[in-house]
């Protein structure tokens, strides 16, 4: 009989091995899935995981990879603060959308003024504040009325989604757009555009921000009192209180960080790769970032790698869609399997599997 036995302390080896094992398990399950769908399993795996980075068209896919990874990493870093402290912000998608609306709103308000030194920084600030304000709703409700932040933050995603659809064909619609929904194209407004800093590399300001966020989070978690408090609050709330950590302050600060970073990611996205406010702007980055955060063990460097891997499933998924006629849902399924695998393999960090003999009776 198999039996799970708690380890006296978490296994270091499994902490690092678990994500890798999870990825391998997902690949195996994915291969089986593709095989059932009548596609060549190995070919599909290769199209998704290998070709975008090393294949013939890598020059096209690599910048795409970076552009997809940046918002995922930025949002996931923010989420990792809350998740480590046991505060479950599931609504990063909503904060991402509101950040985009706020950033784009600033740009559209100044249009057609030419002053990049003023407008672009203002957009970044507006994006951060937009996401932050959206995250403060569940945070303050939790602190003052003990509501569940999971539900409130999740519900606010739907509000944000409705809002962006309404505004893209109302408040923010391009007056010169012949009645089509969608705002002005921000890529064509030099003061607001978030384009590649070096042409065709995919590196825009959002990528820089994501890398900076990884570095900052690494320092905070490993060396700063705040990072320690976050971990303590997540591990034993009572011990944290005893150590002087105010649980309400922790909720506010962690929600602010995750909301702010999600909002910033939304702003960089709407001014860059997405180019305009449109009903189709939301692309579930805010939800996928939850998988990225856990796949990366809530560790900044892990999140960096996990973000790149998850971006690969997006880009590779697109490639597989066009090359092998795979349905888009198959890729989402694939990402879901990845989260399940990581959560299951995670058990081995704290538990070991023992073979026990069945009792005679």
Partner 1 sequence: MRETLLELKGLTKAYPGVVANSDVSFTIGKGEIHALLGENGAGKSTLVKTIYGLVRPDSGTMTMTGAPYAPPEPRAARASGVAMVFQHFSLFDALNVAENIALGMENPPKMNDLAARISEVSEQYGLPLDPDRIVGDLSAGERQRVEIIRCLLQDPKLLIMDEPTSVLTPQEVEILFETLRLLSSEGTSILYISHKLEEIRNLCEHATILRLGKVVGTCDPRATSARDMAEMMVGSAILVPEKEVGEPGPILLELDKLSAPAPHEFGTALNNISVQVRAGEVFGIGGVAGNGQDELVAALSGEMLTAPGMIKLDGASIGHLQPNARRAIGVCAAPEERNGHAAAPDLSLTENALMTGNTRMELSRNGFLDWGKARKFAEKIITTFDVRTPGPENAARSLSGGNLQKFVIGREIMQDPTVFIVNQPTWGVDASAAAAIRQAILDLAASGAAIICISQDLDELMEVSDRFAALNEGRLSPPKLTVGLTIETIGMMLGGAHDMEVAHVEA
Interface with partner 1 (CB under 8 A): 8-10, 223-226, 228, 231-232, 235-236, 238-244, 246
Residues sharing a CB contact under 8 Å with residue 307, sequence separation 6 or more, in sequence order: 69, 70, 72, 73, 76, 210, 289, 292, 296
Q: Of the two residues 9 and 357, which places its CB atom closer to partner 1 in the complex?
A: 9
Helix axes 92-110, 116-145, angle to 10 degrees: 150
Q: Of the two residues 222 and 344, which places its CB atom closer to partner 1 in the complex?
A: 222
Do 360 and 16 meet the contact criterion of CB atoms below 8 Å apart?
no
Q: Of the two residues 175 and 244, which places its CB atom closer to partner 1 in the complex?
A: 244
Nearest alpha carbon to residue 65 among 49, 76, 88, 81: 49
Q: How far is the CB of 14 from partner 1 (least distance, A)?
A: 14
Q: Of the two residues 100 and 298, which places its CB atom closer to partner 1 in the complex?
A: 298
Q: How many CA atoms lie within 13 A of 262 on its CB side?
A: 40
Conformational region of residue 179, where left means phi above 0, alpha means psi within -120 to 50, and beta covers everything else? left
Backbone angles phi, psi at 9, to 5 degrees: -145, 160
Q: Of the two residues 167 and 221, which places its CB atom closer to partner 1 in the complex?
A: 221
Q: How far is the CB of 95 from partner 1 (least distance, A)?
A: 26
Q: How far is the CB of 86 from partner 1 (least distance, A)?
A: 13
Q: Of the two residues 318 and 346, which places its CB atom closer to partner 1 in the complex?
A: 346
Query: Residue 359 has what DSSP assignment?
Result: P
Residue 360, Cβ neighbours under 10 Å: how many?
4
């Amino acid at each position: 009989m198999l039996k799970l036995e708690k380890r006296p302390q978490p296994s270091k080896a499994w902490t690092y091995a678990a994500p890798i094992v999870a990825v391998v398990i997902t690949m195996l399950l994915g291969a089986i899935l593709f095989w059932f769908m009548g596609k060549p399993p190995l070919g599909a795996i290769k199209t998704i995981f290998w070709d975008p980075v090393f294949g013939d068209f890598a020059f096209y896919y690599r910048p795409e990879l970076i552009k997809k990874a940046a918002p995922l990493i930025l949002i996931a870093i923010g989420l990792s603060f809350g998740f480590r402290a046991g505060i479950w912000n599931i609504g990063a998608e909503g904060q991402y959308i509101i950040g985009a609306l706020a950033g784009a709103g600033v740009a559209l308000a100044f249009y057609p003024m030419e002053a990049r030194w003023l407008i672009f920084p203002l957009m970044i600030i507006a994006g951060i504040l937009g996401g932050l304000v959206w995250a403060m709703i569940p945070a303050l409700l939790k602190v003052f009325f003990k509501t569940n932040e999971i539900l409130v933050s999740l519900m606010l995603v739907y509000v944000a989604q409705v809002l962006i659809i309404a505004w893209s064909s109302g408040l923010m619609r391009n007056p010169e757009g012949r009645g089509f929904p969608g705002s002005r194209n921000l890529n064509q407004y030099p003061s607001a555009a978030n384009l590649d800093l070096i042409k065709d590399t995919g590196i825009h300001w959002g990528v820089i921000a994501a890398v900076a966020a990884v570095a900052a989070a690494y320092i905070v978690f490993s060396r700063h009192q705040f990072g320690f408090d976050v971990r303590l609050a997540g591990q034993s709330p009572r011990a944290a209180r005893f150590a002087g950590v105010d649980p309400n302050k922790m909720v506010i600060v962690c929600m602010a960080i995750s909301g702010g970073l999600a909002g910033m990611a939304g702003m960089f996205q709407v001014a860059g790769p997405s180019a305009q406010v449109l009903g189709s702007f939301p692309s579930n980055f805010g939800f996928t970032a939850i998988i990225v955060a856990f796949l990366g063990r809530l560790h900044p460097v892990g999140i960096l790698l996990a973000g790149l891997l998850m971006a690969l499933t997006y880009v590779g998924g697109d490639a597989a869609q066009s090359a092998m006629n795979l349905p888009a849902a198959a890729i989402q399924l694939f990402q879901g399997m990845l989260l399940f695998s990581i959560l299951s393999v995670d058990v081995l960090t704290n538990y070991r599997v023992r073979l026990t003999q069945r009792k005679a009776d």
